[in-house]
Amino acid sequence: MSPRQQALVDLLGRLKSQGYRFVTPGNPTIRTIRGRADKAWAADLRDVFGWSLPFRKGLLDEGLVELMQAADILEAADGGQRSALRVSSIGEALFLHSAFPTTARDAVFFGPDTYRYVRFLRERLPSWTAKLVVDIGAGGGPGGICLGRMWPQARILLTDVNCAALELAQVNARFNGVAAECLEGEGLDPVREGPDLVIANPPFIAASEGQTYQEGGDAYGSAVSVAWAEEAMRRLTPRGCMLLYTGSAIVDGGDPFRERLDALAREHDCSLEYEEIDPDIFGDELTRDAYAGVERLAAVGAVIRRAG
């Protein structure tokens, strides 16, 4: 690991030793909390590393400040300082990701979808243990890392086109005791072997001009999800499985994304189980032209199994 990454691992360890925990809500909630009068300045670790508030000199112990300096995440802000990264918890695990607001194109996102994704993985894991697991579009790695903590004997690969995400994924994996390998590339492109299990939480926002993690492409944002699912259907080992968490645009009560997955599964000799996990997410997106005719966006989970 680079000196910067080692400083980040040590930073997570220091926060862990001080009992740090933070569950990251969605951006509307974050904006509301940060807008309160008592949140102009950070008062504790959760304000600094969770709510991304500026802090005054003397709030943090010198050891933490030195680690932030070594990791180059200490920024000037409003006469004080702020952290360029946040830290969120899933159970006992801690994960680094981008500070709020996530305006950079290579921002590393973590929020309510992350928690739904990990919960879906835990609920739908196959009864057998995979030898090779690939988390495609892994971001900071919460999916693959949480799975690796459950399956320590499995080989875990994390792929992403975002180098900043992979740098943090490597740190997150090391801190959480998972020997994950990070590979730069789109989908399964950087993976040579056939995976036994593919997991994915693709971007699914339509026609976004923002961050890479948001852009889901055409077909109301489902294009990336469809492409990754089809690639997995081709590459999975016999009886292999894909666990796909994503968003789907519901049009006139129908689900075009599900219909497309059904057709692909038949074409590639795969079975499909499909469920709505949350019927209404990102409702503010529906005001955009890209969603004309869409009545709601749903969080969905698909379990794709290749025949033996």
Q: Which tokens in the block code for residue 59? A: 């709030």
Residue 215: its pLDDT value, please? 64
H/E element, 149: helix 142-150
Neighbours of 101 (CB within 10 A): 12
Q: Nearest Cα to 84, choosing from 117, 48, 36, 113?
A: 48
Residue reference for tokens 């360029």: 84
Low-confidence ranges of the chain (pLDDT < 50): 211-213
The pairing of strands 93-98 and 85-90 is: antiparallel
**Running DSSP on this structure, what letter comes out for residue 194?**
P
**Running DSSP on this structure, what letter comes out for residue 254?**
B
The pairing of strands 294-306 and 270-278 is: antiparallel
**Running DSSP on this structure, what letter comes out for residue 124?**
H
The pTM is what?
Answer: 0.94
**Running DSSP on this structure, what letter comes out for residue 37?**
G
Residue 211: its pLDDT value, please? 44
Do residues 64 and 14 make contact, with C-beta atoms less than 8 angstroms apart? yes
Torsion angle, CA of 98/200/5/102, rounded to 10 degrees? -10
Q: Secondary structure of the chain: what % helix, strand, coil (to 5)?
A: 35, 25, 40
- What is the distance between the alpha carbons of residues 191 and 240, in angstroms, rounded to a whole number? 15
Q: Nearest Cα to 95, choosing from 3, 15, 196?
A: 15
Do residues 135 and 151 make contact, with C-beta atoms less than 8 angstroms apart? no
Task: Read off the pLDDT of residues 216-239 as tens digits, 9 standing for 90 and up.
Answer: 567 688 999 999 999 999 999 999
Residue 204: its pLDDT value, please? 87
Do residues 50 and 25 make contact, with C-beta atoms less than 8 angstroms apart? no
Residue 213: its pLDDT value, please? 47
Backbone φ and ψ for 114, nearest 5 degrees, come out as -60, -45
Residue reference for tokens 């189980």: 273
Torsion angle, CA of 127/132/135/141, rounded to 10 degrees? 100
Residue-range domain boundaries for the chain: 3-85, 112-306
Do residues 243 and 197 make contact, with C-beta atoms less than 8 angstroms apart? yes
Residue 155: its pLDDT value, please? 97
Whether the upstream peptide bond of residue 101 has omega within 30° of 0, thus cis, is yes
> CA angle 209-212-214, nearest 5°?
70
CATH class of 112-306: alpha beta
Do residues 262 and 226 make contact, with C-beta atoms less than 8 angstroms apart? no
Q: Is 246 helix (H, G, I), strand (E, B) or coil?
A: strand
Q: Is 59 helix (H, G, I), strand (E, B) or coil?
A: coil
The one-letter code for the residue type at 298 is A
Do residues 240 and 262 make contact, with C-beta atoms less than 8 angstroms apart? no
H/E element, 48: helix 45-49
Q: Is 106 helix (H, G, I), strand (E, B) or coil?
A: coil
